[in-house]
Structure 1
Amino acid sequence: MVKEAQGKFSNPSSDALTIAHALQLFELSENPVEFCRINSLHLKTMEEMSKLRKQLLRLIFHQSKFCEEFAWNLGDSEAVEQAWRSEPGKKPLQMSEEELLGQGICAGWADRVARKDHTYYRLSEEDRKVRAVRYQSCALDDTIYLHRSSSVARIAPELVVYSELLNTKRSYMHGVTAVKPGWLLKYASSLCTFSAPFEDPKPYYDSLHDQVYCYVRPVFSRHNWELPLHSLPIKDNNSRLKVFAYALLNGDVLPCMRDVKDMLALSPSVILGPGPSSQTRVGDLLDKMQKCRKLLCEKMQNCPKLIDSRAALRDAWNADPNFLYPEIKVWFQAKFHSHFGVIWQKMHQEVLLEGRELFPKPKRLKKVKG
């Protein structure tokens, strides 16, 4: 009966969000005493939770006056209270809202992460009889369990955070919320270690962020749990320079270069080859891009150290519009050299734009009802 009564509040991704939903409905009820009786809730506990929620709301708005970190510009406390008291539907939270709240919970309990334990063959006969799902905590060596009463128990996520452990015959997690691997990288990076950059998948240039990235393998906690591949900015200057030079000729930095790839005498991919290249055009281009500061320091105050981004290329061309002209021209077949002036002019026009303008996302076509 209790499980059925409280099932209407259940959020399968988080015990905390389940409790928040129950509290919201409690505060909206016309008769709180009857509400608690029908739903098998403790009246005193619900009243204390309600007082605490209002107190926290006042504290946040008070702190926002003195600390920019707590700044809130989406209405005053009354507007927040009104939004809280608006009649919730069957699913009170949108997916985006649920995701943000989940990330907030993860950030608060990032040192209490647990991963589902799949090592069934190692269990004793007694442990195999336990119906609760087994987990391993990032902070402990012993097995901990997800209690069947948790709103998260039905899906039993691969990764969760918990607020505390309740120790009976076994240790059960309390206050469980499902988390995503990417959240651990974002909010618990101090507990992660990263592998050396991978050569496969290859490093790449991100036109939106105007930065060069590589893929690494993160591992989390002292148990070295492997997380999905993650991209990080490349720190090594030579590697970063090579990837950007490739992206520039490949049309990933300035889209006009995509239209003329067939005019090139050599594939830009040779730039990414291991070790120094025997191709003169590769060495000349990289050498010039690397010596940007030395060559242009007299013409500009804030000269980039090397050309590893569209912004750095823009600054270099502001100082010297012909910088890299011969080094890029030589990549084109001789029969197309007469067209290079037009291409060069187009490159100068596009370098003034930002990534979103250069590479806009294609618009989704609306479905026409037949």
Structure 2
Amino acid sequence: MAPPTAAQVQCIRQVVLAGLGDHLARRVQSEEMLDPKWVNGYKTPLLDEPVFIHPSSNLSKTLPQFVVYQEIMETTKMYMRGVCAVEMDWVPKLLPQYCHFSAPEESPAPWYCPASGRVRCQCRSTFFRVNWKLPSVEMDYPEGLERYKLFAKFLLEGQVCSKLKKHRSCLLSSPSTMLKTWAKLQPRTEALLQQLVSEKVDCRDTLLCTWKKNQKYLLSAFCQWIPESLHEDVAKFWPPL
């Protein structure tokens, strides 16, 4: 049998990480080296003492920053057995259940993903109770009213339905009004938001399903955003698929 390719090796390492998430270990950082016993050691979320890669392992020569292990055996030291090197940026993606995520970052601002039809954002991440800092990760915007507001903004901009782009310049308010703290003072923002929330529409798939049941869904709310002279034209092509 031929040796696995680099791509196959990466897939195997990711599968191992996904299955051994509670056995993740991080190489001790220089600022944490308060005792000589920690030299070349690894910290785990489950133990207070350092663990090590056995000298007979090839990984003892490189000491990867993150590894997962099958078990720990104690001889002269506590050694990890069945060790596999993993990449730090895989952790929040493959082990979200062990991570804490921050509120969505302001930069980059949340965006609409045409491929998934969902509102996406970037969040900082940390691991488990040890709070190891991990890379920021792209993810769906958290559920809640803010996600409806963002979806409404992208809908008005024509990002969700391209047919609405031609009316972007005719809008009576900027789509970003949906995100303002004073948005409730604008009847048109409340009308659109309430209709989205009432049908739990915060992504493209749900919107398309709702239009299958009711082709006039959102028509009256959208018409509040454009001059009355355009209402008849918009009604002719609604829903804007």
**Normalised TM-score (structure 2):** 0.79
Indicate the residue corresponding to 1:274 in structure 2: 181
Unaligned runs of 5+ in 1: 1-84, 292-304, 351-370
Query: Where in structure 2 are the equivalents of 1:52-91 lying within 5 Å?
Result: 85=1, 88=2
Query: Where in structure 2 are the equivalents of 1:339-354 lying within 5 Å?
Result: 341=233, 345=237, 348=239, 350=241
Indicate the residue corresponding to 1:285 in structure 2: 192
Query: Are 1:137 and 2:44 matched, yes or no?
Result: yes
Query: Where in structure 2 are the equivalents of 1:1-370 lying within 5 Å?
Result: 85=1, 88=2, 92-120=3-31, 122-124=33-35, 126-127=36-37, 130=39, 133-181=40-88, 183-185=90-92, 188-195=95-102, 197-198=103-104, 200-201=106-107, 202-230=109-137, 231-236=139-144, 238-274=145-181, 276-291=183-198, 305-332=199-226, 334=227, 337-338=229-230, 341=233, 345=237, 348=239, 350=241
Deviations 1:160-214 (A, max 9, x none): 102233434333333221223454445544433344x335244444333333345
Classify the secondary structure of the residue corresponding to 1:143.
coil
Cα distance in 2 for partners of 1:244, 1:151 equals: 50
Cα distance in 1 for partners of 2:236, 2:66 equals: 51
Cα distance in 2 for partners of 1:204, 1:344 equals: 29
Cα distance in 2 for partners of 1:314, 1:217 equals: 32
Letter in 2 for 1:115: R
Classify the secondary structure of the residue corresponding to 1:141.
coil
Cα distance in 2 for partners of 1:259, 1:157 equals: 53
Unaligned runs of 5+ in 2: none
Cα distance in 1 for partners of 2:185, 2:62 equals: 56
Contact kept? 2:24, 2:66, Cα under 8 Å: yes
Classify the secondary structure of the residue corresponding to 1:165.
strand
Distance 1:227 1:173, change over 3 A: same
Distance 1:181 1:253, change over 3 A: farther
Cα distance in 1 for partners of 2:64, 2:133 equals: 16
Letter in 1 for 2:82: G
Larger Rg, first or second structure (1 or 2): 1
Letter in 1 for 2:239: H
Classify the secondary structure of the residue corresponding to 2:21.
coil
Distance 1:190 1:313, change over 3 A: closer
Letter in 1 for 2:104: F
Deviations 1:69-95 (A, max 9, x none): xxxxxxxxxxxxxxxx3xx3xxx3233
Give how far 1:272 is off: 1.7
Letter in 2 for 1:315: C
State the identity as a percent.
Answer: 29
Classify the secondary structure of the residue corresponding to 2:200.
coil
Cα distance in 1 for partners of 2:19, 2:205 equals: 37
Classify the secondary structure of the residue corresponding to 2:190.
helix
Cα distance in 1 for partners of 2:167, 2:4 equals: 49
Number of corresponding residues: 239
Classify the secondary structure of the residue corresponding to 2:58.
coil
Give how far 1:114 is off: 0.5
Deviations 1:14-36 (A, max 9, x none): xxxxxxxxxxxxxxxxxxxxxxx
Cα distance in 2 for partners of 1:275, 1:95 equals: 54
Contact kept? 2:104, 2:141, Cα under 8 Å: no
Classify the secondary structure of the residue corresponding to 2:26.
strand
Give how far 1:155 is off: 4.2
Contact kept? 2:105, 2:123, Cα under 8 Å: no
Distance 1:232 1:323, change over 3 A: closer
Classify the secondary structure of the residue corresponding to 1:107.
helix
More strand by share: 2
Distance 1:309 1:150, change over 3 A: same
Cα distance in 2 for partners of 1:287, 1:341 equals: 24
Q: CA RMSD in A?
A: 3.2
